[in-house]
A and B are shown apart, each in its own frame.
Chain A
C-alpha cells in the first residue's frame, strides 16, 4: 500500500462514524484489512484517540451547520 492509501484511510475515519467505531475497536485489524502496511497499522494503533474524537465532532458540527461538508479557512 502507499501514502495515498494512508491518507484515504485517515479521511474515512475522520468522517465516517461507523468506520471510526470499527477502527477504534480494533485499530490494527481494521488498518490491515484496509490493506495498509504493518508499520502503518502500528502507527494507527498509537493514534491520538482524543484528537480523533474531537476532529470527528468538529467536522460533524460543521456539516450539520452548513448541510454539507464545509471548508474551514
Chain B
C-alpha cells in the first residue's frame, strides 16, 4: 500500500474494460481509478502488468467483492493472501470491501448480502477485519451495502451496526450514497438521520451510482444496479457529507453496464465535484457563524 495521504478531495471512475479507452483519454479530468481487485487474482501476467502500468499513470484504489467480511464465518486466508499479493504488486492508495456476506453453508450467493445485524456478526466482522489487516498489511475501508430485504434476525438498525463495526475494528468507511439512498427509501428511514449516526470522521471514500425501481406496483423497491445515472438525491447527500466531514474524500462513480458516453460520466463527476464543494462551503459558512 502506498499509504499516500490524500490531501484534497479526489474524483474518479470505476475501471471497466468498456470504459478503459475513455478513462485513459481523459486523465486530466479523473483523479483516481477504482479497480475490482478480484478480477485480477487469476489474471494472466500481461493483464497484471497492464494494471501496474495504469497505476503509474493515475492513482489506483482497489475494491473487493468476494471476501464476505461481514459474517460470523471466518474469512478465507487464501482470498486475503491474493489481495495482499496484488496490493504488494500494484501499491494502491487503499483497498476496500463490503460489509456483506457472500456465501453460507457452502453456497455462493453471488451477491453482496446484508448480514443479520447481530452481536454474533459484529464479533465475526471485527475478527475478519483484524485478520484482513494482518494478512494484507492494511485494513480495508468498509462499505455499507444496498439490500432489497430487511436482514432477518437483525437486532439493531444499519447505522448503529456500521458505527459499532467501525468502533470495534478501527476501520475507515467507504460510504455508498446510492446504497444509503436506496435502503432509506426501501425501509422508510431518513438518510440524514443515518448520516448523523455514522462516525462521519471515519468516512474516507464515497461511492455514487444509480438504480431502478422493481417489484409489484404499490410495493416497489429501489434496486442498486449501477446501470443508471446518479439521481439528484444522491448528489444532495454528497453535499450533506461535505457539510459534515472536514477530511479529504475520494469520490468514485460506479457504472457496471448500459454504458453512456464517457462525456456523460465525466459530467456526472463534475456534478459530484460541485455538490461536494457546495457542502464544504456550507460547512465553512457555519464555522464562520460560530466564530462570529
Contact = CB atoms under 8 A, between A and B. Distances in A.
Nearest to A50: B219
B150 interface: yes
Contacts of B254: 73
Interface string A27-61: 00000000000001001101110111011011100
A69 B244 CA distance: 39
Contacts of B6: none
A11 interface: yes
Contact of A54 (B103, B115, B148): B148
Nearest to A31: B152
A18 interface: no
A6 B107 contact: no
B194 to A, nearest CB: 18
Contact of A58 (B106, B120, B121, B214): B214
Contacts of A62: 110-111
Contact of B214 (A3, A11, A54, A70): A54
Interface in B114-134: 115-116, 118, 120-121, 124
B149 A55 contact: yes
A51 B150 contact: yes
Interface residues of B, number: 45
Given A4-B72, A40-B153, A11 B109 contact: yes
Given A7-B101, A54-B214, A48 B150 contact: yes
Contacts of B150: 48, 51
A8 to B, nearest CB: 3
B58 to A, nearest CB: 19
B221 A10 contact: no
Nearest to B102: A71
B277 interface: no
Given A3-B72, A55-B111, A11 B105 contact: yes
Contact of A73 (B65, B109, B153, B186): B65
20 contacts: A3-B118, A3-B120, A4-B72, A6-B72, A7-B72, A8-B104, A11-B104, A11-B109, A15-B107, A43-B152, A44-B153, A51-B221, A52-B149, A54-B148, A54-B215, A69-B108, A72-B65, A72-B226, A73-B112, A73-B226
Given A10-B113, A54-B214, 5 more contacts: A7-B71, A7-B72, A8-B106, A47-B152, A70-B110
Q: What 9 A-B pairs have minimum CB-CB distances, sorted nearest first?
A: A8-B105, A51-B149, A69-B110, A11-B104, A3-B72, A3-B120, A8-B104, A43-B153, A7-B104
Interface of A: 2-12, 14-15, 40, 43-44, 46-48, 50-52, 54-55, 57-59, 62-63, 68-73
